[in-house]
Amino acid sequence: MTEYLSDFQTSIFDTLKKAVNNPTSYYNNLTKTMMLLLILFCFYWLIRRGLSKSHIEPLKKIRIKKKVKNSFFILLVIGVSIIWINALNSLAILLFLLGLFGIVLIRGILDNILAWFIIRKRHYFRINQRIEVNDKIGRVVTMGLFHFELAEIKNWLSSESYTGRTIKIPNKDIFDAELFIYNYREPFVRQEVSYLIRHDNDWQGAKEIISKAIDNYYQEELLPSMDSQLSDKWKEEMLPTFNMSLDENGITLFCQFLVDYSKVASVKTRLHEEVLEGFNQHGNIEFAVLEVKQVN
């Protein structure tokens, strides 16, 4: 058995030596390999760029990118095998293909480990931070060697509350998917409330009621929670903005405002309560109701 392994090893090295000692064949195959790599890379880059500019759904786009990457890797393996099959004996080619197959099998594991290293060492995100990845929103609860876990938020719920489920996401997804971190530096995000009223209503009065509710929230809750340096930094972003749209359904009043990401649901509830109370006390403000007419 030992002699067989020794002869096998000697045969492989002799074959490799002959290939290396033959400059014409060796450099010709090397040139072909480099050209194949360049061509496949160009096609892969063009496809990735086209997908990035397309209007395909994010999750579907991610799946397509993964399939494209795997397809190009298989083409590369087949192409390199065809190029070098004459330079090496069939047994060496078989070992080469088995080695590449093994790399494919463990590539996902290695990608997860590399992503874990980046997450931990570069502080990509931390425990208890809220993130969004692959259209999944949640609070990071654990970070493992192969995946991290999120306490899921919202999904089928109308407000940003915990669903009670835990999502396990492979670490390698940070390489392919867009990652949104809610409180990377500051915990504030922009949110919006909107109210649809009738055309013949007092829209100026409705705007004043909404403005008063927003101002009360800023004075009583938002500004006291922000230190002076943070207030200066967010001076422009923190100002509320009002917009209005007009269509056949009525007049829609929009207001965007700054809020702590963890208090979005409670702040919106507070604003709705104050605005509804103001509308009820006003004599000429009613919500527009879409009429559905049945034709017999």
pLDDT one-digit tens code per residue, 194-247:
999 998 899 999 999 999 999 999 988 888 877 665 656 666 677 888 999 998
Q: Contact at 8 Å (CB) between 198 and 251?
A: yes
Main-chain phi, psi angles of 40, to 5 degrees: -65, -40
Token pair 């509350």 in the structure block, residue? 161
pLDDT at 254: 94
- Encode the chain in three state secondary structure: CHHHHHHHHHHHHHHHHHHHHCHHHHHHHHHHHHHHHHHHHHHHHHHHHHHHHCCCCHHHHHHHHHHHHHHHHHHHHHHHHHHHCCCCCHHHHHHHHHHHHHHHHHHHHHHHHHHHHHHHHCCCCCCCCEEEECCEEEEEEEECCCEEEEEEECCCCCCCCEEEEEEEEECCHHHHCCEEECCCCCCEEEEEEEEEECCCCCHHHHHHHHHHHHHHHHHHHHHHHCCHHHHHHCCCCCCCEEEEEEECCEEEEEEEEEEEHHHHHHHHHHHHHHHHHHHHHCCCCCECCCCCCCCC
> CA 167 to CA 164: how far, in whole Å?
10
For residue 140, the cross-strand partners are 150
pLDDT at 243: 92
Reported as a single tens digit per residue, the pLDDT across 159-184 is: 778 888 999 999 988 887 788 888 77
- The token duo for 76 is 């590369």
Q: Contact at 8 Å (CB) between 148 and 119?
A: yes
For the chain, what is the mean pLDDT?
A: 80
pLDDT at 275: 93
pLDDT band (50, 70, 90) for residue 270: very high
User: Which residue from 258, 253, 260, 248 is spatially nearest to 279, judged by alpha carbons?
Assistant: 253
Q: Contact at 8 Å (CB) between 187 and 261?
A: yes
Residue 93 has pLDDT above 70, yes or no: no
CATH topology of domain 188-281: Alpha-Beta Plaits (3.30.70)
Indicate the pairing of strand 241-247 with strand 250-260: antiparallel
| Per-domain residue ranges of the chain | 2-88, 130-181, 188-281
Token pair 């000697």 in the structure block, residue? 10
pTM, 2 dp: 0.59
